[in-house]
Amino acid sequence: MIVDKLQQAISASLKKLYNIDAAPETITLQTTKKEFEGDYTLVVFPYVKAARKSPEQVANELGNDVVMPELAGFNVIKGFLNFVVSDAYWSSFVTAHAHDDAYGLTAPVAGSAPTVIEYSSPNTNKPLHLGHIRNNLLGWSVSQLLASAGLNVKKVNLVNDRGIHICKSMLAWQRYGGGETPESSGMKGDHLVGKYYVEFDKHYKEEIAQLMAQGKDEETAKREAPLMVEAQSMLKRWEDGDPEVRELWERMNAWVYAGFDETYERLGVGFDKIYYESQTYLLGKELVQKGLDMGVLFRKDDGSVWCDLTADGLDQKLLLRRDGTSVYMTQDLGTALLRHNEFGAERLIYVVGNEQDYHFKVLKLVLGKLGFDWAEKVYHLSYGMVELPNGKMKSREGTVVDADDLITEMEQTAEQMSLEHGKNDDLSPEQRRHLYHILALGALKYFILKVDPAKNMLFNPAESIDFNGNTGPFIQYTHARICSLVRKGVEAGIDIAAAVNLGTALTDKEKSIVRILHDMPATIASAAQNYSPAMVANYAYELAKSYNSFYQDTHIMREPDANLRAFRLQMCTMVATALKNTMNILGIEVPEKM
């Protein structure tokens, strides 16, 4: 790519003219601002002191010394050196890559150590909701992004299938369920179990209120409420292997897994391996015992086990309760070791909300204290919360936005919007249903993923599915429009694959599109380095926006110059490929007809 060549040439010129040692990769080239002539700009101020000349002198001397066949010239605005790329380079670049279906993507290196990415990590006491959707979409997209940048990626899910929250649903179902099942109720299994998680909370609050009315303070009432005492007892019985508790646990979890699988399929996400907390917490307990033996953990008088992290700027962290039952940290220690040993991972990435920032600081510290030198490979991809116009969601109070309901609502909205815009008149009923589904998911995924992961976001379904503006459907429609145009070109007998020798200069809008296309590999590499699908999403939008601006006032099929017509169709083909590949990183399917 020309940016790499420019960096190398500038590096050589700096050495030749001023004896400045600047490695090519340290030389920053910016896209030239629209108000100036040029394609790439070098800011020369960092080199002025060593060169002992004015910024304008340095810029002009460098411009004259950097001679490349790809360049048509340069100009200097104070300390800014603007390089002008030749139209011949841009047109040959398009011709060379127009039919490369993998343009912008890098194949993984065979045999390389994998990057293991954990996402989803649901609890089996409730269905997936909007918060889980951001987690799943971010985890899947980051996996796709890293794979597109050449990394070997393994996608994993840790199902939190045991613990006090699970026992709450189990106990409530025993008390109030009357033998209800997914089959008898007509409910998805995860929805049914979630119903009893809410039911537990309702009755638990009633018991707390009764105890407080008897004179107990709130904390004591929460601890001594009969439902909570029985749920804690059920958890102890589960860890002791009680057959009755284990049978109920397996039955209700099976309902949930079937529900999860259905939702994952609708979302278009999946995993290479699924771990279960019930199968990793014992290894975590072994590590806790190892820490005790090493003297890096300590046991309090009540029997609970802790790690003192005060010297690390944190506090004391509980690793085993006084009754010997484990906590989240216990199983995370076991899972991390298991995962590292199984995969020989280059990095262990956890896609988890920012409310768990402290948890993952502790995980790395405890792993390090246990003697694992790979603890530094643990990386927490922290992301902000999803909020709605009416505020935050609470699972135990039943105020969440259910993932299944949201997808269905989005599909219905996509159908209505498509009918209003007349975008499905020539499609069969089956094609229409598929179109509504991919438009709905395109709207949902794009709206969520275009936001920087670290930021909190407000999700507005109505805004997300607009066919205009910075939305998934806008980009999907742009792709379909290009596919229609290319089909017409093929039907007209235009040889789109032929080499083009342009005799005319490119327009500003053509150059804008080609420059954006040219930047795609670098954009994906930078997005992967920053774990940011948002960079890819906004790249796709800029490309689609630039293309639509070009399309509105440029003749393509009616262009009389055969070479120019073929070039423009090649460029259109390349734009379609770039949109397809970038949207695929986001997990979004782009239609060829709308």
Residue 504's identity, in one-letter code, is T
Q: CB under 8 Å to 137, separation ≥6 — which residues?
A: 267, 269, 444, 445, 448, 449, 586, 587
- The answer to whether residue 345 sits within a structural domain is yes
Q: Is 116 helix (H, G, I), strand (E, B) or coil?
A: strand
**Residue 397: which pLDDT band, with cuts at 50, 70 and 90?**
very low
Distance spanning both ends of the chain, measured CA to CA: 35
pLDDT of residue 396: 43
Instruction: Compute CA 392 distance to the chain's CA centroid, rounded to the nearest angstrom.
Output: 21
Residues 307, 156 contacting (CB under 8 angstroms): no
Using the predicted structure, report yes or no on whether residue 193 has a pLDDT greater than 60: yes
Instruction: Compute CA 228 distance to the chain's CA centroid, rounded to the nearest angstrom.
Output: 37
Kindly state whether residues 457 and 541 are assigned to the same domain. yes
- pLDDT (mean) for 295-301: 96
Domain boundary among 379, 397, 415: 397
Kindly state whether residues 515 and 461 are assigned to the same domain. yes
- pLDDT (mean) for 93-111: 91
Kindly state whether residues 8 and 156 are assigned to the same domain. no
Percent of the chain with pLDDT over 70: 97
pLDDT of residue 497: 77
pLDDT of residue 334: 94
Percent of the chain with pLDDT over 90: 79
Using the predicted structure, report yes or no on whether residue 124 has a pLDDT greater than 50: yes
Kindly state whether residues 487 and 443 are assigned to the same domain. yes
- pLDDT (mean) for 153-158: 97
- The answer to whether residue 566 sits within a structural domain is yes
- Name the DSSP class of 26: G
| Domain harbouring 475, CATH code | 1.10.730.10
Report the distance separating Cα 386 and Cα 134, nearest Å. 7
Kindly state whether residues 507 and 542 are assigned to the same domain. yes
Report the distance separating Cα 84 and Cα 37, nearest Å. 7
**β partners of residue 40:** 31, 83
Burial of 445 (0-12, 13-18, 19+ CB in 10 A): buried
Domain boundary among 85, 103, 130: 85
Burial of 462 (0-12, 13-18, 19+ CB in 10 A): exposed
The lowest-confidence range among 311-315, 329-333, 384-388 is: 384-388
pLDDT of residue 393: 41
| Domain harbouring 173, CATH code | 3.40.50.620
pLDDT of residue 423: 64
- The answer to whether residue 313 sits within a structural domain is yes
Kindly state whether residues 77 and 124 are assigned to the same domain. no
Instruction: Compute CA 231 distance to the chain's CA centroid, rounded to the nearest angstrom.
Output: 36
- pLDDT (mean) for 26-36: 92
| Domain harbouring 58, CATH code | 3.30.1360.70
Q: How many domains, in total, are found in the chain?
A: 3
Kindly state whether residues 127 and 76 are assigned to the same domain. no
Using the predicted structure, report yes or no on whether residue 369 has a pLDDT greater than 50: yes
| 224 C-beta neighbours (distance < 10 Å), count | 13
Using the predicted structure, report yes or no on whether residue 166 has a pLDDT greater than 80: yes
Kindly state whether residues 348 and 430 are assigned to the same domain. no
Mean residue pLDDT of the chain comes to 92
- pLDDT (mean) for 515-531: 96
CA angle centred on 361, ends 357 and 362, rounded to 5° = 115
Kindly state whether residues 553 and 432 are assigned to the same domain. yes
pLDDT of residue 411: 92
Kindly state whether residues 384 and 411 are assigned to the same domain. no
Domain boundary among 397, 428, 447: 397
- The answer to whether residue 104 sits within a structural domain is no
- The answer to whether residue 355 sits within a structural domain is yes
| 392 C-beta neighbours (distance < 10 Å), count | 12
Query: In 3-state terms, the chain is what percent helix, strand and coil (to 5)?
Result: 60, 10, 30
**Residue 561: which pLDDT band, with cuts at 50, 70 and 90?**
confident
Residues 37/38/40/44 CA torsion (nearest 10 deg): -60
- pLDDT (mean) for 125-137: 92
**β partners of residue 154:** 116
CA dist list (Å): 578 to 91, 97, 587: 17, 10, 14
The DSSP code sequence of 294-358 is HTSSEE-TTS-EEEE-GGGTS-EEEEE-TTS-B-HHHHHHHHHHHHHHHH--SEEEEEEEGGGHH
Using the predicted structure, report yes or no on whether residue 341 has a pLDDT greater than 70: yes
- pLDDT (mean) for 476-494: 93
- The answer to whether residue 106 sits within a structural domain is no
Q: Is 518 helix (H, G, I), strand (E, B) or coil?
A: helix
Q: Radius of gyration (Cα) for the chain, nearest Å?
A: 29
Kindly state whether residues 244 and 320 are assigned to the same domain. yes
The lowest-confidence range among 50-59, 151-160, 280-289, 490-499 is: 490-499
Using the predicted structure, report yes or no on whether residue 391 has a pLDDT greater than 80: no
Residue 566 structural domain: 403-585
| 35 C-beta neighbours (distance < 10 Å), count | 6
CA dist list (Å): 264 to 239, 351, 584: 29, 16, 17
- The answer to whether residue 388 sits within a structural domain is yes
List pLDDT tens digits, range 419-464.
Answer: 877 766 678 888 889 999 999 999 999 999 999 999 998 888 778 8
Kindly state whether residues 135 and 220 are assigned to the same domain. yes
Residues 570, 98 contacting (CB under 8 angstroms): yes
- The answer to whether residue 92 sits within a structural domain is no
